[in-house]
Amino acid sequence: MRAVVTGGAGFLGSHLVDRLVRDGWDVVAIDNLVTGSPDNLVPALATGKASLVHQDVIQRCEVDGEVEFVFHLASPASPVDFERLPFEVLRVGSVGTLNALEFAHRKGAGFLMASTSEVYGDPLISPQPETYLGNVNPIGIRAVYDEGKRYSEAATMAYHRYRGLDTRIVRFFNTYGPRMRLDDGRVVPNFIAQALAGRPLTVYGDGEQTRSFGYVDDAVDGVCRLAASGYHDPVNLGSQWEFRVIDFARLVIELTGSGSEIEYRPALPDDPKQRRPDTSRAETVLGWRPTTSLEDGLRATIAWFRDRLGT
């Protein structure tokens, strides 16, 4: 069995490549290396069962030979990237997804679209079930990503309905773990790097906004179950454990044993106020539940950051 993972050199992508290799797949990772890094694939490449193709799915998505499944994960994913790379984000969420869908269709392969909790925007209900249609600002600063992912979901369903493509859609909620970019700008790498350096942890706004953090191994396990399931509607994957950002900052300080203080910065525009997945669909359809506690996941992530930062 041979799989293609777009964004395979990225944070989530590379963990998925590792898992697929462990499960006996041959894997081709496609990446333009804008936010991904070949370093993430060192263990997978060493097995001889994975390869990396430097290709930008915005331009083309093509791999010779038979392919049974395409996992489409390619996209910058940090709010910092949405401002740094707005046109790349727009293109990969539109043309990039169409190229990946067309590729899967040509190969007669299954297709999994990596979508996001951002399709719910700044949600007005909590927790968010897959049936919630969202509250997205189409002209806001995050719209390049949010609307791109919504478009990607629409395109995926169109290929399923009108071309018979065997599709899946997963909506990830704040996934974290080793291999997140140190300068990615998201809250997990920011707080850990700040705490390890003894610098103040930068809390945006009053810190009352909430997120639910899901460990990457659990997310990847959900992806593999979904790929095997034959289920076509979207499935949320994330943790039920909802945290205020201010409490998350305190937890990172505690787990790193840091003497860092907390520094309040201006709130970000369009920052969602709450986010927590309703995961009953994943439980019912996939028999999936996250098994990694936030403390265990954070300890593993902190250890990885320590190693990278030499602290």
Q: Is the dihedral of CA 10, 306, 18, 12 positive or negative?
A: negative
Residue keyed to tokens 């991904």:
36
DSSP string, 208-219: --EEE-EEHHHH
- C-beta of 23 vs 208, nearer to ligand UDP: 208
Quick one: which of 187, 220, 253, 286 contacts ligand UDP (CB under 6 A)?
A: 187
Q: At what angle do helices 216-229 and 11-22 cross, to 10 degrees?
A: 60
- Residue of 120, 145, 176, 215 marked active site: 145
CB under 6 A: which stretch of 41-49, 124-132, 185-193, 214-222 binds ligand UDP? 185-193
DSSP string, 170-197: EEE-SEE-TT--TTS-SHHHHHHHHHHH
- C-beta of 103 vs 120, nearer to ligand UDP: 120
Which of 115, 198, 199, 200 lies closest to 155 in space, CA to CA? 115
Quick one: which of 245, 252, 253, 302 contacts ligand UDP (CB under 6 A)?
A: 245
Which of 298, 126, 119 lies closest to 211 in space, CA to CA? 126
Residue 264 makes contact with ligand UDP by CB under 6 A: no
Quick one: which of 26, 68, 102, 271 contacts ligand UDP (CB under 6 A)?
A: 271
Which of 54, 53, 2 lies closest to 25 in space, CA to CA? 2
Quick one: which of 32, 55, 174, 260 contacts ligand UDP (CB under 6 A)?
A: 174
In this structure, what token pair is assigned to residue 281?
A: 């669909």
- C-beta of 33 vs 268, nearer to ligand UDP: 268
Quick one: which of 15, 150, 171, 186 contacts ligand UDP (CB under 6 A)?
A: 186
Q: How far apart are the C-alpha atoms of 246 and 203, rounded to whole Å? A: 7
In this structure, what token pair is assigned to residue 297?
A: 């996941």
> What part of residues 88-147 is at the interface with ligand UDP (CB under 6 A)?
none
Q: How many CA atoms lie within 13 A of 270 on its CB side?
A: 18
- C-beta of 56 vs 118, nearer to ligand UDP: 118
Tell me how far, at minimum, the Cβ of 3 lies from ligand UDP, in Å.
27
> What part of residues 73-92 is at the interface with ligand UDP (CB under 6 A)?
78-79
CB under 6 A: which stretch of 163-171, 183-191, 232-240, 287-295 binds ligand UDP? 183-191
Backbone dihedral region for residue 52 (phi beyond 0: left; psi -120 to 50: alpha; all else: beta): beta
- C-beta of 99 vs 258, nearer to ligand UDP: 258
Q: How far apart are the C-alpha atoms of 13 and 240, rounded to whole Å? A: 23
Residue nearest to ligand UDP (CB): 186
Q: How far apart are the C-alpha atoms of 266 and 167, rounded to whole Å? A: 41
Tell me how far, at minimum, the Cβ of 28 lies from ligand UDP, in Å.
29
Q: How far apart are the C-alpha atoms of 90 and 106, rounded to whole Å? A: 24
In this structure, the dihedral spanned by the alpha carbons of residues 138, 115, 32 and 103, taken in order and rounded to 10 degrees, is -110
- 145 belongs to the catalytic site: yes
Task: Print the binding letters for residues 275-304 with ligand UDP: x by CB under 6 A, - otherwise.
Answer: ------------------------------
Task: Print the binding letters for residues 189-228 with ligand UDP: x by CB under 6 A, - otherwise.
Answer: -x-----------xxx----x-x-----------------
> What part of residues 49-78 is at the interface with ligand UDP (CB under 6 A)?
78
Question: Which residues are designated catalytic?
Answer: 145
Site residues, ligand UDP (CB under 6 A): 78-79, 174, 186-187, 190, 202-204, 209, 211, 245, 268, 271
